[in-house]
Amino acid sequence: MRLDGKVALVTGAGSGIGRETALLFAENGARVACVDLSAEANEATVAAIAAQGSEAIAIAADVSSAEDSERMVATTTARFGALHVAFNNAGIMHSDDGDAVATSERTWDLTMNINAKGVFLGCKYEIPAISASGGGSIINTASFVAIMGAATPQIAYTASKGAVLAMTRELAVVHARDGIRLNALCPGPLRTELLMKFLDTDEKKERRLVHIPMGRFGEAAEMAQAALWLASDESSFVTGTDFVVDGGITAAYVTPES
């Protein structure tokens, strides 16, 4: 199994990409710490992992809190004795997020606190734990919109994911010789509850779909497969990348720098 003997921590494990990834990591041999603000959803993920014969724990935590972030890592290492893989995936896409004129300061601050600060705090406490465990992989969820912008305005979300890309690149360089790899997973538009709530009309959905060469929304399970590769030793020479899994949308619309 691709993560046999590994300990993994997954934030946002109660739904969407986080849930699918936690299940896949466990299926591939990892012991998994599932982290989510929703205790009920998180426990359901842990129960599903247990049902497939794997080991997991549920940790209720707010990733925008330094205290909670430190606790989630400490709880993981206390239970499993190590940390080898961290997937900083928890995030929000606020329904009131729009362009710079329409978006409130409150929506901006909330989005940045969870999507950007949450990744920073995760890395802050995960890096020492992974180093003490002999090295490993950190995967931070960004987005294709951090590379090309969004057809449907969502300035706070886009900016927060751009911050994730920048943080991931810098930390990858800083820790490259410490045995810690950091990569940003950049999903394209997905058929998840998070995005479908944001694209709450057929018109908004069509504005996204028309730009995707493959002609469909991606699935959370497809992102989990990408995260598994980045977590595994199969990607041992991969660090500092914007790992784009988007159905071809950036290939169609982003012009490479000359």
Count of structural domains within the chain = 1
CATH number, domain with residue 181? 3.40.50.720
Q: 203 Cβ partners below 8 Å, 6+ apart?
A: none
Q: With respect to residue 131, please indicate whether it lies within any of the assigned structural domains.
A: yes
Tell me whether residue 251 is in a domain.
Answer: no
Residue 125 annotated among the catalytic residues of the structure: no
pLDDT of amino acid 57: 98
Name the residue range of residue 143's domain.
Answer: 7-241
| 87 assigned to some structural domain | yes
Per residue in 160-183, pLDDT (tens digit) is 999 999 999 999 999 999 999 999
Structural domain includes residue 211: yes
Residue 247 lies in a domain: no
pLDDT in the model for residue 190: 85
- 47-65, pLDDT tens digit by residue? 999 999 999 999 999 999 9
> What distance in Å separates the CA atoms of residue 171 and residue 159, rounded to the nearest whole number?
18
What are the residue ranges in the chain where pLDDT is below 50? 258
Q: What does the pLDDT read at residue 193?
A: 76
Residue of 125, 157, 198, 217 with catalytic role: 157
Decide if 255 is inside a domain: no
